[in-house]
A and B are shown apart, each in its own frame.
Chain A
Amino acid sequence: MMKRFPIIVTILCSMVAGHLHAQDSTNIDNGRIVLIGSAAAATIAAIHIYQRDAWWQGDREPFRFENDWEYALNIDKFGHTYGAFSESKIAKNILQWAGFSSQASTFYGSLTGLAYQTYVEIEDGYHKAYGFSPGDEFSNIIGSSIPLAQEAFPFFSNFSLKYSYYPSNQYLTDLKTQSFRVFIDDYEGSTFWITMDPHFLMSKELSAAIPKWLGISLGLAVHNIDETGEGSRLYYLTLDYNFSKIETESNFLKALFGAMDFFHFPAPGFGLEDGKIKVGVFYTYHTQLTL
C-alpha cells in the first residue's frame, strides 16, 4: 500500500493542479515563484536530512500505526496542531507575497502544511520507536484547517495559536550526553497558547479605549513528565500582544510584526498548577516570575 502512496499523492496533486488553472495569474510574480520554489526545495531537503539524523536513525520496520494519546500529557498534540497551523500560515504568507489571491494562498498554504506534517508522520510510521500516530495526524488536520476556517469564517480570525520556548533543565542535560536532541521535542520547555483578540466582544466605546494590539491568551505547559504519562499540567491566563495590529507604513516592520505573532512573549496574568493559582509574568514554566 505505502509503495503506492506517492502515486496516490501525485493523482491528488494533479486534481488540485487542475483547479489551479482557474487561478487568475494576472498578479503572480514569476520571479518570486521561481525564488519560492527553489527556496522550498532547499528547505525541505535540509529539514529532511536534519530530521533523518535526529529522529529516524536506527531500525526501520514495516509501516504501522501506534496510538499514543497518553504521551507527554497530550502537549505533543498541541505541538502538532501548532506546527501544522504555523507551516500553513507561513506558506500562505509566502504565496500571497508571490501574488496569489488571499483565497488561493490559504488554499495551497493549508495543503502545504498538512502535506509536510503528514510526510513526517508517515516517516514515523516506518520507525521502530514511533509508528504513525492517529492522534498526531488528528492534530495536523486541525492545525492546517484553522487558516481555512479563518479565511472562510471571519469570526475565527479573532483566535490564533502561539508558542513560547525556553530550554528545560532536562534538555540542557541531555544535550551534553546525546548527539541529537531536538528542541521541539523538549515539551517541558514549551508552552502552547490559544490567543483571542477580545475587541469583537466589546462595545465600540470600550474597544476604542483598549489598544488594538492587546489580547488575552490561554496557555498550556507540562512539568515532570515521564514515559508513562505521569506529570503535571500547568495552565495560564495572561495578556497577549498582537504585534501585527500596530499600524506602520514600513514593510519591514509589517513582516517583523507578522513573524512575531507566531510567538507568545512574557505577559502578566494568572497561572494554575496543582490547584494553586499564581499571579505573575508568564512565558514558560522555567522562566515564570510569580509574586
Chain B
Amino acid sequence: MKFFIALLFFFPIFQSIAQTTELESPYPHGFTTSFGRAQYYSSLTKYQSANYDFTIGFGFNISSQFLVGIKIYTGEENSAPGQAQPVSGKFDLGGGAILLTYRLTDNGRWRPFITAGYELSTVLTAAQQNTSFGSLAITGTSGYNGSGLHSYIGTEYYVSQNFSFEGAITYQYRQYAGLIVNSDNLGNKVSLNDSSFGIELGGNIHFNLLP
C-alpha cells in the first residue's frame, strides 16, 4: 500500500518529466533507470504466504527494442502458517540479476515485453528460533547462496519518451546451494529448489542521451 501511496505522491513529478519532451520515434535510447515492487508466491512456502521485494535497475537500450541491464532487489519471504519444512521462519532476501528485455514493438504507448535473465540471490534468515532451511535447524542469521532464472512478461505504458509505467508477471526459479554464514551450522550444506510466481509494478525513467 505504501508503494502505491508513494506512486501517487510522485505522480506530479513523473508528469512534469513527461511534459518536458515530445513523443518521437524510435525511443527509448541510451540509459534507463527502473524501479518497482513485486509481490510473489514461492514453492518454498507452498504458495501460501505472499512475499515481496523492491527492485531498482539500470540498463542500456541497445536499440529501441532491446534493453540489457542489471536489476537489484531486496525483500522478505515468510513461511506458510505452521510450516516446518522445507523452510520455516522469516527470511530476508537479497539479490541481483543480469537481464535482457525485448520489446515486441517500439511504437505507441503500450509496449509489451519479455525479459529473461540470470540471477544471483541470497536468503538470509532473520528468525530468532525454530527456523529451519532444508534439513538444518538455524539459529541467528544465516545465509544461503542461490542462482537461477528470472523472467518477466508484461507491458510498458509510455507517458512520454522519457517515462513509462510497467506491469509484469514474474517467474523465478532458484537453486539454493547452501552456503552458510554467521551461523552455528557454519560449513554444513543444504540444497533446495524454489519456484515463484508473482506480479510486479513499477516505472522506468528513460534518459535519451546517446551522444
Residues of A within 8 A of B (CB): 1-2, 8, 12, 15-16, 19-20, 22-24, 61-67, 69, 100-101, 103-104, 106-107, 110-111, 114, 118, 128, 131-135, 137-138, 141-142, 144-145, 148-149, 151-155
Contacts and interface: CB of A to CB of B under 8 A. Distances in A.
Given A15-B60, A134-B94, A100 B205 contact: no
A1 B74 contact: no
Contact of B120 (A12, A65, A154): A65
Nearest first, the 4 A-B pairs at minimum CB distance are A104-B211, A65-B94, A65-B122, A134-B74
Contacts of B57: 141
26 contacts: A15-B68, A20-B211, A62-B179, A64-B181, A65-B96, A65-B122, A65-B143, A67-B93, A67-B94, A69-B74, A103-B211, A107-B30, A107-B209, A107-B211, A110-B31, A134-B96, A137-B56, A137-B72, A141-B57, A142-B56, A145-B31, A145-B33, A145-B205, A152-B208, A153-B20, A155-B16
Contacts of B45: none
Contact of A61 (B16, B30, B60, B181): B181
Nearest to B211: A104
Nearest to B93: A67
B211 to A, nearest CB: 3
Contacts of A16: 60
Interface in B67-125: 68, 70, 72-74, 92-96, 98, 118, 120-122, 124
B96 A107 contact: no
B137 interface: no
A19 B208 CA distance: 13
A134 B74 CA distance: 6
Contacts of A135: 74
Given A12-B68, A62-B179, A141-B58, A148 B98 contact: no
B197 interface: no
A107 B210 contact: yes
Contacts, number: 117
Contacts of A61: 179, 181
B159 interface: no
Given A145-B58, A155-B20, A134 B95 contact: yes
B145 interface: yes
Given A19-B211, A137-B96, A138-B74, A1 B120 contact: yes
A100 B93 CA distance: 42
Given A141-B56, A148-B31, A64 B145 contact: yes
Contacts of B98: 8
B32 to A, nearest CB: 10
A101 B211 contact: yes
A20 B60 CA distance: 13
B62 interface: yes
Given A106-B209, A151-B207, A66 B60 contact: no
Contacts of B94: 65-67, 132-134
Given A8-B98, A62-B145, A107-B30, A67 B68 contact: no
Contacts of A67: 74, 92-94, 124
Contacts of B56: 137-138, 141-142
Interface string B22-41: 00000000110100000000
B207 A148 contact: yes
A8 B57 CA distance: 16
Contacts of B162: 152-153
A257 B147 CA distance: 48
B127 interface: no
Given A15-B68, A138-B72, 9 more contacts: A15-B62, A19-B210, A61-B181, A65-B143, A131-B122, A132-B94, A132-B96, A137-B56, A138-B56
B17 interface: yes
